[in-house]
């Protein structure tokens, strides 16, 4: 609720529903697990969630990242793994949620997974759009706000952007919360780099990416128009 660019963002009205309800309903439609919970430090969100019968958990308000918040949830709600969906993604694609969880179902050796999608040309140099490069097994090699790879020669593959959904096993997310912030994480302001700097491989699955996340009131208005068009 304390977003500096958009105070009260999670509860902004989108066609008669608070934004967090759209995200919760997308998670339900994905049908991955019945254990879906809204984790928040804000009593206002917990009160709002009661209106659409969503389970909630009140967390501390001093977490530096969403993953640190999930680690607190993991302490209170032990499960094999967790899928972290940000509350400002009302247009999240349910197939992306399934794709993110799939590697952990498929291979017990995979500790963490996330999603990547083709990066449009007009977003390659946008520092708000995180890019990712992978090895040939689709494990992330690096994430950056900079355009990677640098085109010293013509690019041999489509630039990929990171879609901020994460799946991680219980032990990995618990370990994350005990590690201090790492140099690359601090430099790029990207929490997933803390995992990589500790040797955790992140398997990247292909997805679509949502049409628009909400960081500003202007983006909320654009989402309203997209939702209205989709529900005509």
- Indicate the length of the chain as a whole number: 232
Domain assignment present for residue 232? The answer is no
Q: What is the predicted pLDDT for the residue at 116?
A: 97
What average pLDDT does range 49-75 have in this prediction? 94
CB 221: neighbour CB atoms within 10 A?
12
CB 141: neighbour CB atoms within 10 A?
14
Structural domain harbouring 40: 9-226
Q: What is the CATH number of the domain that holds 207?
A: 3.90.550.10
- Residue 113: closest CA among 192, 171, 32, 167: 167
Q: What is the predicted pLDDT for the residue at 121?
A: 93
**Per-residue pLDDT at 61 exceeds 80:** yes
What average pLDDT does range 116-137 have in this prediction? 94
Domain assignment present for residue 125? The answer is yes
Q: What is the predicted pLDDT for the residue at 16?
A: 94
Domain assignment present for residue 171? The answer is yes
Q: What is the predicted pLDDT for the residue at 211?
A: 74
Range in 167-176, 177-186, 222-231 the model is least confident about: 222-231
Q: Are 14 and 223 in contact (CB under 8 A)?
A: yes
Take residue 230 and report the two structure tokens written for it.
């989709």
Residue spans of beta strands (DSSP E) within 80-207: 81-84, 112-118, 131-134, 140-144, 160-169, 203-206
Q: What is the predicted pLDDT for the residue at 65?
A: 87
Across the chain, what does the average pLDDT equal?
94
Q: What is the pTM of this model?
A: 0.91
Question: How confident is residue 232, by pLDDT bands cut at 50, 70 and 90?
Answer: confident
Count up the domains in the chain and report the number.
Answer: 1
Axis crossing angle, helix 19-30 with helix 94-106, rounded to the nearest 10: 50
Take residue 10 and report the two structure tokens written for it.
């999670």
Domain assignment present for residue 165? The answer is yes
Q: Are 91 and 223 in contact (CB under 8 A)?
A: yes
Take residue 82 and report the two structure tokens written for it.
């967790």
Q: What is the predicted pLDDT for the residue at 2?
A: 85
Take residue 83 and report the two structure tokens written for it.
């899928």
Q: What is the predicted pLDDT for the residue at 144?
A: 97
Give strand pairing partners of 117: 161
User: Residue 120 and residue 27: Cα distance in Å, rounded?
Assistant: 26
Domain assignment present for residue 15? The answer is yes
Domain assignment present for residue 219? The answer is yes
Domain assignment present for residue 4? The answer is no
How much of the chain exceeds pLDDT 70, in percent?
100
Question: How confident is residue 5, by pLDDT bands cut at 50, 70 and 90?
Answer: confident
Domain assignment present for residue 3? The answer is no
């Amino acid at each position: 609720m304390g977003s500096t660019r958009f105070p009260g963002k999670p509860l902004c009205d989108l066609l008669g529903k608070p934004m967090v309800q759209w995200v919760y309903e997308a998670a339900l439609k994905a049908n991955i697990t019945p254990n879906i919970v809204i984790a928040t430090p804000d009593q206002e969100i917990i009160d709002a969630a009661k209106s659409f019968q969503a389970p909630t958990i009140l967390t501390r308000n001093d977490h530096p990242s969403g993953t640190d918040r999930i680690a607190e949830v993991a302490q209170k709600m032990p499960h094999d793994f967790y899928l972290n969906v940000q509350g400002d993604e009302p247009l999240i694609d349910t197939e992306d949620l399934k794709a993110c969880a799939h590697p952990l179902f498929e291979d017990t050796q995979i500790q963490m997974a996330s999603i990547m999608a083709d990066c449009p040309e007009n977003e390659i140099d946008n520092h708000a759009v995180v890019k990712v490069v992978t090895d040939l097994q689709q494990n992330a090699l690096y994430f950056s706000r900079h355009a990677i790879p640098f085109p010293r020669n013509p690019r041999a593959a489509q630039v990929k952007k990171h879609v901020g959904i994460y799946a991680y096993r219980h032990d990995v997310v618990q370990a994350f919360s005990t590690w201090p912030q790492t140099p690359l994480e601090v430099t790029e302001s990207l929490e997933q780099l803390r995992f990589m700097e500790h040797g955790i491989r992140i398997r990247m699955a292909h997805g679509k990416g949502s049409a628009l996340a909400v960081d500003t009131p202007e983006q909320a208005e654009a989402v309203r128009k997209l939702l209205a068009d989709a529900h005509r």
